[in-house]
Amino acid sequence: MYRAQTLALKYFAAAITFFGVMAITGLLSSYYYINPDFLFGILPFNIMKILHINTLVIWLLMGFMGSIYWFLPGELGRETVGIRAAEVLFYVFCAAVAVVAVVFIFVQYGGSNEAVLWLINQGRKYVEAPRWAALGIVVVMVVFAYNVIGTAIAARKTTGIITVLMIDLIPLILLYLIAFPAISNMSADLFWWWWLVHLWVEATWEVLIGCIMALALMQLLGTPRRIVEAWLYIEVALVLGTGILGLGHHYFWIGTPGYWLAIGGFFSALEPLPLLGMVVHAVYDAGAQHMKTTNRPALHWMMAEAFGNFIGAGVWGFMITLPQVNLYAHGTQWTVSHGHFAFWGAYACGIISVLYLVLQRTRNLAVVQGQLWKWSFAALNLGLVGMTGALLVSGFVQAFVERAIGGSTLEAFISGQENAWFVDGMVARFLLAIVFTAGYVVLVWDLVTLGRRAPAIAAVSPAQ
């Protein structure tokens, strides 16, 4: 096994750990809606929410990096350049995340001065990590890009997938630089902040997961490279074509010019189109193999990725993307519902699929089998879909009672929060979050014990 693949296993272990932190902080966050006095004076809701969202970003990022470190040596036929630096930075990355989490939990906030930005919290939603940690993430990403690009140069070859990946890494790093706040005008600040949030999630990350899924498909189903690459180009072009200017749907109500209503609405409405193509592609691939594979968990999670992406990002997003509806729906639990479903479908399912694929190799399993993965698959997806449904109900109430009827006054806000449908929705979300967390526990147990509890199975060739 290459050193990069050993590093990949560490990244996967860290990713699945932070996935757990995300699930638990999400579960606790949901409980605040039922019992607002929960942890009163100890840990406020906003800190719990920060931990939930930031660990989401971190675990997915680590999952992406682990996947690339895993596939890269096999793809280019050599050890990764600069692997020593990458190995050191892995521990720095994990330690930094742990320190930031401790600061968030125990320090929580500070005064309005520069030192707080550097040491406690940058104060920007989703990228709250203090400046020193944000700088650390930049260093990690630069070394990661160096690993990929340097290896391709040293190998004196590249493939279509690696070329797309290399091109993608440049905006991935550059966009993160927006995480450092420098603009005091709120509209201007939000304008650029959305470049980071939207273009990471709906552009660079989409390309990244596209590359990872392409590599995984070749290994899982033996799909010929030329086909995988051809479809990667088509799907990346379509996703970028609709996703980049789809950025405009975040510009509706932040003080930007009115033409963003038309641009954002139009391009966002086109976003489900390529996702439908991906779903058809998934059905084709599964059908071509008659759902026969040596790794059923990986195939099922990959299918869940295609379907979840279409439903979570496409359908849920389409409900609220036109300005007329978005006027009332933005910032409500309706949006939260969309966010949960889209992240799960577009990214989380894909990473879990790769985890099973990698474990099949590292544990020399000819066939991945058992019942546990079915339970975790069912509980995680049922919990997630149930949560998004419950959030949708609560979001309807907010959009209707608080926004459309009440006109977004404080009185209307309280009226919406006290509405029986809203309350019931939040209770249902909490209960289904428990199901989701239980699914996570089963998933971890399955991943840890995979191949160790099943009867011995003939070995396959070592990792490529």
Partner 1 sequence: MSPLASLETGLFLGLYALLAGIWGVLWALAQLRLMPIVAGSAVAACVLHVLAAVTIVLWTPLGFGWKCLIVGSSLAFLVIPPITWRLLRRTHDNERSEHDRQPSQHSRRLVVRL
Q: Is 34 helix (H, G, I), strand (E, B) or coil?
A: helix
Among 329, 346, 352, 368, which residue interacts with partner 1 (rule: CB under 8 A)? Answer: 329
Structure tokens at 278: 């991906």
Among 233, 318, 413, 421, which residue interacts with partner 1 (rule: CB under 8 A)? Answer: 318
User: Any contact of residue 293 with partner 1 (CB under 8 A)?
Assistant: no
Stretch that binds partner 1, among 128-136, 204-212, 246-254, 327-335 (CB under 8 A): 327-335
With respect to partner 1, which residue has the nearer C-beta, 81 or 329? 329
User: Any contact of residue 315 with partner 1 (CB under 8 A)?
Assistant: yes
- Burial (0-12, 13-18, 19+ Cβ within 10 Å), 264: buried
Site residues (CB under 8 A) for partner 1, limited to 405-464: 405
Q: Distance between CA 56 and CA 26 in Å, rounded? A: 10
**Secondary structure letter of residue 79 according to DSSP:** P
Which residues, in sequence order, are CB contacts of 86 under 8 Å at separation 6+? Answer: 4, 7, 69, 80, 143, 144, 147
Any bridge partners for residue 368, and if so which?
295
User: Any contact of residue 327 with partner 1 (CB under 8 A)?
Assistant: yes
Contact 342, 319 (CB under 8 A): no
Site residues (CB under 8 A) for partner 1, limited to 129-168: 152-153, 156-160, 163
Q: How many positions of this chain bind partner 1 (CB under 8 A)? A: 52
Minimal distance, residue 334 CB to partner 1, in Å: 8
Q: Distance between CA 278 and CA 26 in Å, rounded? A: 29
Q: CB count, 10 Å around CB of 115? A: 11
With respect to partner 1, which residue has the nearer C-beta, 213 or 359? 213
Stretch that binds partner 1, among 208-216, 250-258, 275-283, 363-371 (CB under 8 A): 275-283
Q: Is 367 helix (H, G, I), strand (E, B) or coil?
A: coil
With respect to partner 1, which residue has the nearer C-beta, 220 or 447? 220
Q: Distance between CA 357 and CA 461 in Å, rounded? A: 14
Handedness of CA 255, 258, 262, 263 (dihedral sign): negative
Structure tokens at 205: 């990350």
User: Any contact of residue 322 with partner 1 (CB under 8 A)?
Assistant: yes
* Site track 373-412 with partner 1 (rule: CB under 8 A), x = hit: -----------------------x--xx---xx-------
* Site track 59-78 with partner 1 (rule: CB under 8 A), x = hit: --------------------
Would you tell me which residues interact with partner 1 (CB under 8 A)? 152-153, 156-160, 163, 224-227, 230-231, 262, 265-266, 269-270, 272-273, 276-277, 279-281, 283-284, 287-288, 307, 310-311, 314-316, 318-322, 324-325, 327-329, 334, 396, 399-400, 404-405
